């Protein structure tokens, strides 16, 4: 029987080579043009570039950095600079390990999904609230401080995310926080620093009802050293026996002698 399309042996070999090349090129193209992954977000923020990984930069990177900045090595502070470098990658790895995710240092759907799960639509982290960090004297509105209210809120958001990390590392035990103070509020507090970090929204005062007062507070003070806080003042430091003050001042100042800090 003569086939209608009879091919010589040589033509068959050529056809096979051509097909092999086509498939190789197609698979190379598939790798290069990685299909974009679905955006991950909520009412607070949506990451449309997924995944985020080392070497990337852009406006979506600081939104990640703020949320992993509490997962640092001892004494380290993460710059919220929009560049996904080695410190950001290490923080992402610690975050992933801390929440039992696969650890690869890449912020993909699983990691960003966990972050979204940990935040509310109003951008506060799951276990801290704007209401508790607004106005140590109860006046509200984030006004009357050293910065405009939107900057105060941004600083408080960063401080709360670090506290959220610390809370999880301490076994998800409740931590209460207060934060912002207006000048009039700060001035009404005996012995308050007249240029307190609370005026800038950079500071939280933390208390815990679990354990002994000193025990719980010292656990917090020790954990704060791994949570990206440059300022830590706690038990044994004047006026700090009943709470731990943490803040993001520009250089390290730690004192909690009762806790060995």
CB of 164 to Zn ion, least distance (A): 18
Residue nearest to Zn ion (CB): 245
Rule CB under 5 A: say whether 245 interacts with Zn ion. yes
Alpha-carbon gap, residue 87 to 94, rounded angstroms: 11
DSSP 158-202: HHHHHHHHHHHHTTS---EEE----HHHHHHSTT--TT-GGGGT-
Interface stretch with Zn ion, choices 45-53, 123-131, 141-149, 244-252 (CB under 5 A) = 244-252
The answer to whether residues 228 and 72 touch, using CB atoms and an 8 Å cutoff, is: yes
- Residue spans of alpha helices (H) in 33-122: 60-68, 86-98, 109-117
The answer to whether residues 47 and 90 touch, using CB atoms and an 8 Å cutoff, is: no
Measured from the CB atom, the residue of 89 and 205 that comes closer to Zn ion is 205
The answer to whether residues 166 and 219 touch, using CB atoms and an 8 Å cutoff, is: no
Interface stretch with Zn ion, choices 21-29, 50-58, 67-75, 240-248 (CB under 5 A) = 240-248
Interface stretch with Zn ion, choices 23-31, 117-125, 203-211, 222-230 (CB under 5 A) = 203-211
CB of 219 to Zn ion, least distance (A): 18
Measured from the CB atom, the residue of 144 and 234 that comes closer to Zn ion is 234
Annotated active-site residue 168? The verdict is no
Q: Known catalytic residues?
A: 240
Binding site for Zn ion (CB under 5 A): 205, 245
């Amino acid at each position: 029987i003569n086939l209608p399309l009879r091919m010589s042996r040589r033509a068959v070999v050529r056809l096979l080579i051509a097909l092999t090349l086509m498939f190789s090129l197609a698979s190379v193209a598939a790798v290069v043009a990685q299909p974009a992954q679905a955006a991950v977000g909520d009412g607070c923020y949506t990451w449309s570039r997924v995944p985020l990984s080392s070497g990337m930069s852009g406006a979506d990177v600081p939104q990640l950095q703020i949320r992993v900045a509490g997962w640092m090595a001892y004494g380290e502070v993460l710059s919220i600079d929009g560049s996904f470098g080695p410190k950001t990658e290490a923080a992402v790895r610690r975050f992933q390990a801390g929440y039992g995710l696969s650890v690869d240092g890449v912020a993909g759907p699983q990691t960003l999904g966990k972050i979204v799960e940990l935040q509310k639509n109003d951008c506060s982290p799951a276990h801290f609230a704007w209401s508790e960090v607004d106005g140590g004297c109860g006046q509200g509105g984030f006004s009357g401080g050293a910065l405009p209210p939107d900057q105060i809120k941004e600083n408080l958001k960063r401080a709360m995310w670090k506290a959220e990390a610390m809370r999880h590392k301490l076994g998800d035990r409740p931590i209460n926080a207060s934060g912002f103070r207006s000048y009039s509020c700060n001035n009404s507090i005996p012995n308050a620093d007249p240029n307190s970090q609370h005026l800038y929204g950079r500071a939280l005062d933390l208390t815990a009802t679990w354990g002994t007062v000193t025990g719980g507070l010292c656990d917090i003070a020790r954990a704060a050293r791994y949570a990206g806080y440059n300022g830590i003042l706690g038990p044994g430091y004047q006026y700090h026996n009943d709470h731990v003050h943490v803040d993001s001042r520009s250089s390290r100042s730690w004192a909690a002698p009762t806790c060995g800090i």
